[in-house]
Structure 1
Amino acid sequence: MTAKSFGEKNWRNNPAFKALCRALADCQTPEEVADFLRDIGTLTELHAWSERFEVARLLAEGKSYREIAELTGASTTTVTRVAKFLRDGEGGYRSSLKINARPETE
């Protein structure tokens, strides 16, 4: 996969990305997702993804950028970037936040 084949206009149609999405969708439990993510990502990447999701959750709760930065340790640049995608992105944060707001079942 070249960087050229993975651009803003065609990322969704990239075969390797589609395979990654299918692999994530095939995970049956949060534990399976965690194991898969740990295998494909470094701890630094996992932390960054987790931090961004927490920032999105706090933004959705109406917390200020500064408060979120203080609570999470994220930079204000990260908070601003997450806010942009929460507002103008593909809807992934919003969908996931709705799913995560449901009570956990055992």
Structure 2
Amino acid sequence: MGKKRFTEDSWRKEPWFQSLCSAFVACSTEKEVADFLRDIATLSELQAWSERLEVAKQLSHGRTYREIAAQTGASTTTVTRVAKYLENGEGGLRKILHAHRHHRMVSGTIAGKDVAKERTESVLKKYLK
């Protein structure tokens, strides 16, 4: 059997991808997410993902592609790619940026419920449908 490849038509329904999403939902703290990510990703992958998120933040603040590339060290190709994700993607990155900007990604407990975990679970469930 060859290497499993996701396709644009089926990636969301792939059991491996669904398991990955479930693993994120199972994490209840930032440390657990960080530990999980470090166990499944190389430092290069983590750096690339972190860089893309920083590029997205700067794009959302209206900085130019060249400014972002100079400040982050990302290539203009990466900046352009992230801009396309923000414009035409699934909307997940925009939601994260919106949550970060307006809620400062603060998790808390209300009436014994972990608000951040419930929010993450509901977003992922909608996302997987």
| TM-score interval, normalised by the smaller of the two chains | over 0.9
TM-superposed deviation, 1:26: 1.4
Matched, 1:2 2:4: yes
User: RMSD between aligned alpha carbons?
Assistant: 1.3
- For structure 1, list consecutive stretches of 5 or more residues without a partner in the other structure: none
Q: Give the number of aligned pairs.
A: 104
- For structure 2, list consecutive stretches of 5 or more residues without a partner in the other structure: 109-129
The residue that corresponds to 1:71 in the other structure is 71
Q: Distance in 1 between matches of 2:98 and 2:84?
A: 18
The residue that corresponds to 1:32 in the other structure is 32
> 2:52 is aligned with what amino acid?
R
Q: What is the correspondence of 1:11-26 to structure 2 with a 5 Å cutoff?
A: 11-26=11-26
Name the TM-score, length of structure 1 as normaliser.
0.93
Question: Larger Rg: 1 or 2?
Answer: 2
> 2:85 is aligned with what amino acid?
F
> 1:51 is aligned with what amino acid?
E
Structure with the greater relative contact order (CA < 8 A, sep ≥ 6): 1 or 2?
2
The alignment partner of 1:2 has SS state of coil
Name the TM-score, length of structure 2 as normaliser.
0.77
The alignment partner of 1:90 has SS state of coil
The residue that corresponds to 1:60 in the other structure is 60
The residue that corresponds to 2:45 in the other structure is 45
TM-superposed deviation, 1:105: 5.5
